[in-house]
A and B are shown apart, each in its own frame.
Chain A
């Protein structure tokens, strides 16, 4: 709030000072309907010393700049319209009567560039840092004087380095810079590394020596670095895909792996979990986006788990020991559930907004970790740990294992086996529901959500070894990483086929998967 006030105050002061005659041309250009002229207007305004440049261009970026019938420009603020010519508020002008100055990509690019040079002198060091990055990205030699002035007064070492790099980038495309300066600049950019650096160096590669070879050498070092980080990045992508597969398959590892029910409606349990996230978010309203996702996890567990118990009691328990009928019945059930959701929520995708703490990415050297994927990896690990704890440490888990290993003996010991069956199926379905909440963050929340995961889930469980949670986890991660390493070379379609072929060959050699269950239980 305070920052906003300071900004507004600055805006008034800036607009009020008409001491300097500002680029009148830029003004006319901004008011024109053609994108080319607006683009040019932004560039001219950005280069002029006009104190009004920053507020006007920022307003344009935020979509708050309006043009009147007489080509006068107005800025919309929460407290009303401000005339850019006089710097005073214009109370009798309303935005409905004015036309918004429109943007397209070239205009946006010009804005980023202009704001970059203007904000090099901002008070906030993060802003200055971002501005330096924007200038580097644009690498326009016209920004050099501004950069020199900014570097001279910069105190923060990080920002100063960013500015020096931006200066080097701008210098490289300056026609009148000396060869020594350019060589020094190439060294700076080569040491910086990253995608942007490569794009800046590329045009210099064809220059005559010594510039060309120096640029080529710098590019090679950038490429080496990128290759190294690229491999690590692929491992991360593989982990991320693996965690998605794991979370989708974890429930199936219980219903299919432990109980042996071929549950084709597993995907629909996932889908219901995703819809639960949507409903919880709608019920809580937009102010609670972050909380609603957290609350959706238990809600989805209860809804999918409850439905799982109902399904087990009404349908599946009549079909134990008849895998073919189970397969057909649960497949039919999956169609019923899909169409039911389609009738209730409609066939189109439902938005589940990501909470603020899942947006964006963080950098670790040359590695980019997208936060939503990172959260899902952690979530998958937690779900796996929770599931293992439930199976090993709780009385219910003990009974579940007892029933699946030797039903008659367990019954003889006084365990109500039908109820344990229902609860086990409920647990598997509930975990599937929790997976749905996670998937709502990366995939469509639509009635078809589950379908796209059912085959992969079975693949993971069979590959990992039926009835073994560690196997499921390792299977999911292996499939994820293999897939992500194949994809860049073979393409997504062929990559998937290759994974499938490898899996078939593996199952041929080891029909019981990575970690087969041993002992008498396995023979049953």
Chain B
């Protein structure tokens, strides 16, 4: 994989194709053609700008998404205290899609066509994102999606502030290979789109690294799986072949607690078979006794234990806003922090909240992240991020054992999957295509221009 900020063939192509478009990128805020769609500022002065918050507050996903709703309300309140945006106040419109995927689409439609939200921050699971995607494309809305996901998607109307697989999964596998000398792999995941796609990418990646098919074991379990005894025994047995074995876990949600409890029960220590997880953060560990789990790993772009002044300020703000000093912070919260600030900057740059102007203005916007650097919105609507690997500690926090020296550019289309290895996404004009095939120089149907 390409190291941080190194230009390999793909990203070079991305930049190369973008060269012609760079002139077009410098669009003037509210310039002629765009202004016709934009409401005139005078008419709106004084009325608040509406920001949609589309997170489940009930049902299975409430455990993860409620926190994100709170973070959005905090960020909006802070911005209002600073004087709002374009001289207008921000107003949050909170809806509850209740962990019900079709309801996500309905609520998104309501946020865009009834409430006329300038932008929406929301979704967690990939299936909810897939459900709202047609709505945002049809009504030309803006969605900021804050969760690490499987990639293989690049919509004009979505800004992906979570990690693509090369910003999380692949660096984690590299770390295990190099530092812990792992040669045998268990890919364990919950049975739905994110783990399946991620494991497909990882399997192809491991093959390029010379891992024999006999040295990988892929295992899927249903959502909320709670009896892990035989699967962990199977992993234990797979790990007894005399080669260093690791588990790459894309197990999501509630199933993680019984999974880790059983690991501890069967005495699998991190020094025997380390588990690296992509969906387990501070929030998930908060309900667990982490003493038996010390040393198991997680890969994210942010940890609460990151030691920077920005992060300290963010945690202090969060604790005073939520009035509970024990509440943890996590990666998707940071993604919303970055996404919200990017949206503010893009609106300021465009001088209007009109979606077309903001979508164009957002590319190239750079804001500080919480790990002490700056994240930039790239033409593929993904952001640059550092990759951190942390080991679980006995206090439920992560000890950061590895950090990429620079920022990693997202690969929205995986180069390890045959169907997508020639695709790039670049929403700058005149290319403006989410799935451009560099071999055939054509825009695939999936990335049709909707500008």
Residues B28-73 near A (CB distance < 8 A): 57-60, 62-63, 66-67
Q: Are B267 and A446 in contact (CB under 8 A)?
A: no
Q: A109 to B57, alpha carbons, bound, how many Å? A: 43
Q: A342 to B59, alpha carbons, bound, how many Å? A: 9
Answer yes or no: A103 CB below 8 A from chain B CBs: yes
A347-355, A405-413, A504-512 - the one binding chain B: A347-355
Answer yes or no: B208 CB below 8 A from chain A CBs: no
If A105-B295, A443-B257 touch, does A196 touch B265 (CB 8 Å cutoff)?
no
Q: A200 to B227, alpha carbons, bound, how many Å? A: 30
Residues A26-79 near B (CB distance < 8 A): 35
Inside 8 A of B63's CB, which chain A residues have their CB?
347-349, 446, 448
Closest to A372 in B: B265
Q: Are A448 and B295 in contact (CB under 8 A)?
A: no
Answer yes or no: A282 CB below 8 A from chain B CBs: no
A-B contact count (CB 8 A): 145
Picked from B59, B67, B220, B230, the residue with its CB within 8 Å of the CB of A484 is B230
Answer yes or no: B445 CB below 8 A from chain A CBs: no
Answer yes or no: B6 CB below 8 A from chain A CBs: no
Q: Are A202 and B258 in contact (CB under 8 A)?
A: no
Q: Are B242 and A199 in contact (CB under 8 A)?
A: yes
Q: Are B270 and A195 in contact (CB under 8 A)?
A: no
Q: A240 to B231, alpha carbons, bound, how many Å? A: 14
Residues B89-117 near A (CB distance < 8 A): none
* Contact mask for chain A residues 231-242; partner B; CB cutoff 8 A; 1 contact, 0 none: 001100100110
* Contact mask for chain B residues 245-267; partner A; CB cutoff 8 A; 1 contact, 0 none: 00000000010011001100111
Q: Are B236 and A195 in contact (CB under 8 A)?
A: yes
Q: Are B237 and A103 in contact (CB under 8 A)?
A: no
Answer yes or no: B214 CB below 8 A from chain A CBs: no
B280-288, B338-346, B350-358, B373-381 - the one binding chain A: B280-288
Q: How large is the interface on B (under 10, 10 to 19, 20 to 34, 35 or more residues)?
A: 35 or more
Q: Are A491 and B220 in contact (CB under 8 A)?
A: yes
Q: Are A241 and B242 in contact (CB under 8 A)?
A: no
Minimum CB–CB distance from B185 to chain A (whole Å) comes to 16
Picked from B60, B242, B391, the residue with its CB within 8 Å of the CB of A104 is B391
Minimum CB–CB distance from A235 to chain B (whole Å) comes to 11
Inside 8 A of A186's CB, which chain B residues have their CB?
none
Minimum CB–CB distance from A133 to chain B (whole Å) comes to 11
Inside 8 A of A368's CB, which chain B residues have their CB?
266
Picked from A196, A201, A445, A448, the residue with its CB within 8 Å of the CB of B60 is A448
Inside 8 A of A445's CB, which chain B residues have their CB?
287
Inside 8 A of A89's CB, which chain B residues have their CB?
none
Inside 8 A of B414's CB, which chain A residues have their CB?
none
Answer yes or no: A266 CB below 8 A from chain B CBs: no
Inside 8 A of A348's CB, which chain B residues have their CB?
63, 66-67, 283, 286-287
Q: Are A109 and B271 in contact (CB under 8 A)?
A: yes
Answer yes or no: A198 CB below 8 A from chain B CBs: yes
Picked from A105, A195, A226, the residue with its CB within 8 Å of the CB of B274 is A105
Inside 8 A of B243's CB, which chain A residues have their CB?
202
* Contact mask for chain A residues 468-495; partner B; CB cutoff 8 A; 1 contact, 0 none: 0000000000000001100110011100
Closest to A200 in B: B242
* Contact mask for chain B residues 164-183; partner A; CB cutoff 8 A; 1 contact, 0 none: 00000000000000011000
Q: A240 to B230, alpha carbons, bound, how many Å? A: 11
Q: Are B229 and A353 in contact (CB under 8 A)?
A: no
Give me the interface of A with B, judged by CB distance under 8 Å: 35, 102-106, 108-109, 112, 195-196, 198-203, 226, 230, 233-234, 237, 240-241, 244, 338-339, 342, 346-351, 353-354, 360-361, 368, 370, 372-373, 442-448, 451-452, 483-484, 487-488, 491-493, 496
Q: Show 26 A/B contacts (Cβ-Cβ < 8 Å), sorted by A.
A: A103-B295, A103-B391, A105-B271, A108-B295, A201-B242, A240-B229, A241-B227, A241-B229, A342-B62, A346-B66, A347-B57, A347-B66, A348-B286, A350-B287, A351-B287, A372-B265, A373-B229, A444-B254, A446-B63, A447-B62, A448-B60, A448-B63, A451-B224, A484-B229, A487-B230, A492-B219
With A108-B271, A348-B287, A370-B262 given, can you name 18 additional A-B contacts, CB distance below 8 Å? A102-B399, A104-B391, A105-B274, A105-B295, A195-B236, A198-B241, A237-B227, A237-B233, A348-B283, A349-B286, A373-B265, A442-B226, A442-B227, A451-B224, A484-B229, A491-B220, A492-B222, A493-B220
Give me the interface of B with A, judged by CB distance under 8 Å: 57-60, 62-63, 66-67, 179-180, 191, 219-222, 224-227, 229-231, 233-234, 236-237, 240-243, 254, 257-258, 261-262, 265-267, 270-271, 274, 283-284, 286-289, 295, 297, 391, 399, 401
